[in-house]
């Protein structure tokens, strides 16, 4: 076996976005593309000589090939050990857990999350740091810089490594340890939650559906809900991970998990429904006849931490991304806790969790999590909800009504305009930025604007500043509209418009969100000239 040093040239566009580098799969499969980026990760973190890493992905098309390349490159670059999920599989939260538990120097996670998979669809790769979380901006910038000056990469010339069986083997001097991708994660969940109480819930006939959308959480969900907690076979749907996720988008929202939503809205719906995404870090929560927005979900979790043994009495702070609704802030205020507002991207929670300033975090983009790992965690959120339902002995709908009665309701919706022309999208954001100063005091759809700004974040722990993180427009009465461009798409641009309004009167808590928000939706269109600038009258997705 020999080490080859391959001469290469920088490839444009290897700039990590909101969560790692995401491109069309065929782009990753072009000569040197993956290799250049992997070597840039290695160089950007100061080399891998003598270091230990976790490696795995969500099983999407090209996962198997990429794992082999990364193993051969890690060995050629002098890594000491790679801890790999069997068959190259690991959910994102499971990888985060392993990085922390095994005290490694970080990990490489292969996923494009909720984006579809397949030769014509998306692939992605991200580096997680030793705390288990996504690399912060300073590191992603160093990786990007390395990609801009790369002239060679090192790779071992050898056949494929067998990673289909548990155990240890060697590649050059590097040890490869193949582990069960599910085991450590299930053990962590058992530490956090009262599995006896959850078993009793199912033993009493509680009904649930979990849709794994043919993505990575299938085996994890089977092991937890059906094997460990005794839920009947068939509780977990679409449990077999497929390289193309069965042709769908592994995105747990009312569009891509429509059949689950339809079942939950039907007459004989189970009591609880949930879904997760491609790599297992996102979640969707449903009850019989009710969809819980991610912003409400994290608020309900935050309000009920004392119902879960591992959180009782030790939670003192929350964090949410800026576009997430202020429902979480209301819980924090009532409990006299801190609530941090960060830019979009789980990486911004890392310092807050590490410094124990926040213990529960959430994002409107279906991400909820805590300090148990440093990624958002879909199944963790589902188990938290199950624990709430088991303790309160209430339906999801009753939990929500009670929560809104106590804290008020933040009506919320996100409108996505996908695949739009990048120039038009940048033009829209630029024009909005230019008119920020003149917005306060003006009225749109009968609502007065009280403030408008471009969001920037100063990290209270390391003092770093993140600028240009989206435009916020505030209205009287607690209304808000936020505009930003997605950092996870792979074709054109995606404009996200986040609309929120506060209602304290319980007699008005039963409205349909699109209807409750109609005035602000109209205002958002006028302020940003959406239809005029991008030529669309309707968003592609409303969550």
> Which positions are annotated as active-site residues?
113
Helix (H) / strand (E) containing 122: strand 122-128
Contact set for ligand G16, span 100-139 (CB under 6 A): 113-114
Q: Give yes or no for residue 417 binding ligand G16 (CB under 6 A).
A: no
Stretch 69-88: interaction string toward ligand G16, x if CB under 6 A: --------------------
Residue 492 touches ligand G16, criterion: CB under 6 A: no
What is the residue-wise DSSP string for 377-418?
-HHHHHHHHHHHHHHHT--HHHHHHHHHHHH-EEEEEEEEEE
Q: Which is nearer to ligand G16, 94 or 290 (CB)?
A: 94
Q: CB 114 → ligand G16: shortest distance, Å?
A: 6
Residues 2-41, one symbol each (x = binds ligand G16 by CB under 6 A, - = not), give: ----------------xx----------------------
Minimum Å distance from CB 467 to ligand G16?
15
**Cβ at position 251, least distance to ligand G16 in Å:** 9
Tell whether residue 91 is a contact of ligand G16 (CB under 6 A): no
Q: Find the binder of ligand G16 among 218, 280, 345, 470 (CB under 6 A).
A: 345
CB count within 10 Å of CB 180 equals: 15
365 touching ligand G16, by CB under 6 A: yes
Which residues, including other chains, have CB under 8 Å from residue 223's CB and lie 6 or more apart? 182, 186
C-alpha distance from residue 354 to each of 133, 206, 349, 358 (Å): 10, 37, 9, 8
Site string for ligand G16, 239-278 (x = CB under 6 A): ----------------------------------------
363 touching ligand G16, by CB under 6 A:
yes
- Of the candidate spans 185-193, 310-318, 339-347, 502-510, the one that interacts with ligand G16 by CB under 6 A turns out to be 339-347
User: Residues 346, 385, 411, 444: which binds ligand G16 (CB under 6 A)?
Assistant: 346
**Residue 281 lies near ligand G16 (rule: CB under 6 A):** yes
CB of 485 to ligand G16, least distance (A): 8
**Number of neighbouring beta carbons within 10 Å of residue 15:** 14
Residues 6+ apart with CB under 8 A from 455: 322, 343, 469, 470, 471, 472, 482
282 touching ligand G16, by CB under 6 A:
yes
Query: Which position among 10, 486, 522, 529 is part of the footprint of ligand G16 (CB under 6 A)?
Result: 486
- Supply the angle between the helices 92-101 and 183-192 in degrees, to the nearest 10: 80
**Contact at 8 Å (CB) between 125 and 20?**
yes
* Per CB under 6 A, 344 contacts ligand G16: yes
Q: Does 293 bind ligand G16 (CB under 6 A)?
A: no
* Among 94, 95, 89, CA closest to 108: 95
For ligand G16, the closer of residues 308 and 425 by Cβ is 425
Query: Which range touches ligand G16 (CB under 6 A), out of 144-152, 199-207, 361-369, 523-531?
Result: 361-369
Contact of 87 with 163, CB cutoff 8 Å = yes
Bridge partners, 309 (sequence order): none
Using the rule CB under 6 A, is 415 a contact of ligand G16? no
| Part in contact with ligand G16 (CB under 6 A); list of ranges 52-60, 233-241, 340-348, 461-469 | 340-348
- Does residue 488 belong to the site contacting ligand G16 (CB under 6 A)? yes
Q: Of 132, 350, 367, 378, which one interacts with ligand G16 (CB under 6 A)?
A: 367
Q: Which residues pair with 499 in a beta bridge?
A: 413, 481
Q: What are phi and psi of 400, to 5 degrees?
A: -65, -45
Tokens 């593309």 belong to residue: 33
Choosing from 246, 408, 487, 492, the residue that interacts with ligand G16 (CB under 6 A) is: 487
What DSSP element (H or E) covers 56?
strand 52-57
Rank residues 281 and 377 by Cβ distance to ligand G16 and give the closer one: 281
Please tell me whether residue 496 binds ligand G16 under the rule CB under 6 A. Answer: yes
Distance CA 51, CA 526 (A): 54
Exposed, middle or buried: residue 536 (CB in 10 Å: 0-12, 13-18, 19+)?
Answer: middle
Contact flag: residue 500 with ligand G16 (CB under 6 A): no
* Size of the residue set binding ligand G16 (CB under 6 A): 17
Secondary structure (3-state) at 482: strand
Q: Per-residue b/e over 341-371, b at no fewer than 16 CB within 10 Å?
A: bbbbbbbbbbbbbeeebbbbbbbbbbbbbbb
What span, in angstroms and rounded, lies between the C-alpha atoms of 463 and 52?
29
> Which residues form the interface with ligand G16 (CB under 6 A)?
18-19, 113-114, 281-282, 321, 344-346, 363, 365, 367, 486-488, 496
């Amino acid at each position: 076996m020999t080490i080859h040093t391959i001469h290469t040239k920088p490839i444009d566009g290897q700039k990590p976005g909101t969560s790692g580098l995401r491109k069309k799969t065929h782009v990753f499969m072009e000569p040197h593309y993956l290799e250049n980026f992997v070597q840039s990760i290695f160089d950007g973190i100061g080399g891998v000589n003598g270091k230990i890493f976790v490696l795995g992905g969500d099983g999407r098309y090209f996962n198997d090939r990429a794992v082999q390349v990364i193993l051969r490159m890690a060995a050629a670059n002098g890594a000491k050990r790679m801890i790999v999920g069997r068959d190259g599989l690991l959910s994102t939260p499971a990888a985060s857990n392993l990085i922390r538990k095994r005290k490694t120097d970080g990990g490489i996670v292969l996923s494009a999350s909720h984006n579809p998979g397949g030769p014509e669809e998306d692939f992605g790769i991200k580096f997680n740091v030793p705390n288990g979380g996504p690399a912060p901006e300073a590191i992603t910038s160093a990786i990007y810089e390395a990609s801009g000056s790369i002239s060679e990469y090192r790779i071992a010339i050898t056949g494929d490594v067998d990673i289909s069986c548990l155990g240890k083997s060697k590649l050059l001097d590097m040890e490869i340890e193949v582990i069960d991708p599910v085991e450590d994660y299930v053990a962590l969940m058992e530490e956090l939650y009262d599995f006896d109480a959850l078993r009793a819930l199912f033993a009493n006939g509680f009904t649930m559906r979990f849709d794994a959308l043919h993505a990575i959480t299938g085996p994890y969900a089977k092991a937890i809900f059906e094997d460990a907690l005794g839920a009947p076979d068939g509780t977990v749907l679409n449990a077999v991970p497929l390289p193309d996720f069965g042709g769908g988008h592994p995105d747990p929202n009312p569009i891509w998990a429509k059949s689950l939503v339809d079942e939950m809205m039907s007459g004989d719906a189970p009591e609880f429904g949930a879904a997760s995404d491609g790599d297992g870090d996102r979640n969707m929560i449903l009850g019989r006849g009710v969809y819980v927005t991610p912003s409400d979900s994290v608020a309900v979790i935050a309000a009920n931490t004392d119902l879960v043994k591992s959180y009782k009495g030790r939670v003192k702070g929350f964090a949410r991304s800026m576009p997430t609704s202020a429902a979480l802030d209301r819980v924090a205020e009532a409990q006299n806790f801190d609530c941090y507002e960060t830019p979009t991207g789980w990486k911004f929670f890392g310092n807050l969790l590490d410094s124990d300033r926040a213990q529960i975090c959430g994002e409107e983009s279906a991400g909820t999590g805590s300090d148990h790992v440093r990624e958002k965690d879909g199944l963790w959120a589902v188990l938290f909800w199950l624990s709430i339902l088991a303790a309160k002995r209430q339906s999801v709908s009753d939990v929500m009504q009670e929560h809104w009665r106590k804290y008020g309701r933040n009506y919320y919706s996100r409108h996505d305009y996908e695949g739009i022309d990048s120039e038009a999208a940048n033009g829209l954001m630029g024009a909005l930025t230019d008119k920020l100063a003149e917005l306060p005091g003006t009225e749109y759809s009968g609502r007065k604007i009280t403030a408008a700004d471009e969001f920037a974040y100063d990290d209270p722990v390391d003092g770093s500043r993140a600028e240009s993180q989206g435009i916020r427009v505030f209205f009287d009465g607690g209304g808000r509209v936020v505009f930003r461009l997605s950092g996870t798409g792979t074709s054109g641009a995606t404009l996200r418009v986040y609309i929120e309004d506060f209602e304290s009167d319980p007699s008005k808590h039963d409205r349909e969100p699109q209807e409750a928000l109609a005035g602000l939706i109209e205002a958002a269109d006028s302020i940003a000239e959406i239809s005029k600038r991008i030529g669309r009258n309707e968003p592609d997705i409303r969550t």
